[in-house]
Structures are given as C-alpha cells and as structure tokens.
Amino acid sequence: MELNIDSLEKLLVANWTKFIDRRALINFVRDCLLQYLQKEHSCQALTATFSRFELVENGFLVWIEFKLVHETTPATGTIEALVDWHGQFHHVQTV
C-alpha cells in the first residue's frame, strides 16, 4: 500500500490548528525572527500559518507564512522549519 503524500499535506495544512498550539507557533516565529534579525529589539508576530508540510526522513519540513511588525515596520515572510518525530521545531531558514 502507498501513502498519498499530496492528500496528507493538504490535510495537515487545512487542520494544523487541531494539533499545534497557535500561541506556541507565534512564539516560535518571533524567536526565529529575532535570531534572523540579530537584534535585541522586539517584534510582534501578528499571524502565522502553515503553507506546506513535506514528509522527510526525520520528520516534516514545514513552511510557516507570517506577518509581523518589527519596531514600526510591517513585514511578511516565510520560515522553513523541521518538525522532528518528537514534535520539536527546528529553524532551518527565514526568507
């Protein structure tokens, strides 16, 4: 039997709020952005959502689309992260 990867990804993107805490996701985005910006200034992540779940050998590669305000400047972007089999998020890159 073969798993339909496309259907799995659509299911995960559509239902991520049922298994990932939205507040924890916003905090993860904020922490990644502070590290990416390499500044001590705070930023406020306004929204974050998943646009991709790709099954990989050691978990899921996910894309997190975000909107935020850094100081007074609004911005949007994407964080690529790995969610390992233990449910831990690991930042890969921010674009």
Contacts of 84 (CB under 8 A, 6+ apart): 58, 59, 90
Specify the number of domains making up the chain.
1
Domain hosting residue 54, numbered range: 5-94
Beta carbons within 10 angstroms of residue 51's beta carbon = 10
From the list 33, 39, 42, the residue with the least C-alpha distance to 81 is: 33
Instruction: Name the pTM for this structure.
Output: 0.85
Q: For residue range 53-91, what is the model confidence (pLDDT) as tens digits? A: 999 999 999 999 998 887 777 888 999 999 999 999 999
In the block, tokens 């974050």 appear at 48
* Closest alpha carbon to 78 in 57, 61, 59: 61
